[in-house]
Structure 1
Amino acid sequence: MPPDYFADDPRSNLERMLAGDLYIADDPEIAKRQRRAMRLAVRYQAAYLEDAVGSRPILAELLGSVGEDVDLRPPLYVDYGSNITIGARTFVNYNLTALDVARITIGEDCQLGPNVQLLTPTHPLEPDPRRDKL
């Protein structure tokens, strides 16, 4: 039986994750937030194909903050979206993967090429915590 890593820690897995501490990723609240982000990313892609400017409210709902005149070409892949900030007048080409377990900030007047990956999650290096799904 694995040790109880969180015996003296009353925080939820989501709270531990946001603090940058070890957590269990298959927590129901975390999974709910991930599914929300996936649904919004798919809605954004479909809306962008019909009307790039009109799709902006969906992007704003998905991400933590979006500056004016941001052009983010889908598809977009995120863990949560809510931990991502994009500054004004930034262009992001196709296929951004931004795994936002921690905060991701893209400044103003930036240009990101296709297939960029911004990856914040990490895993323990020791084998036992990895086996225990931390």
Structure 2
Amino acid sequence: MCTIVRILYIADDPDSFEQFKRAVRLQAQYAAAYVEDPGEDCQLGPNVQLLTPVHPVEPQPRKDRLESARPITIGDNSVIGAGAVVTRDIPVGCLALGSPARVVRKL
């Protein structure tokens, strides 16, 4: 069994700690929204990014620094190539490559 420390924070500045807590909270929200349904037997290469940020256009939400992310579905038996930037759903049984990721062929 291997245990990896994911978050380590050492500081005595209360403002820095509040910013850190906000960053952790936002990261958790993004992580929860990224992949809605990872398909069975799908493979993601190294350095794949799943990016679907939604930035508000109204002034007050922008001032509040509110953001969200749309969910992404990766179909069963799909393969996402190394370094791909996935910005939309990937269908079942496909090879997707590139930035932004595009389906290049059926598997």
Q: Which has more strand, going by share of residues?
A: 2
Same fold (TM over 0.5): no
TM-score by length of 2: 0.35
Q: Which has more helix, going by share of residues?
A: 1
Higher relative contact order (CA 8 A, sep 6+): 2
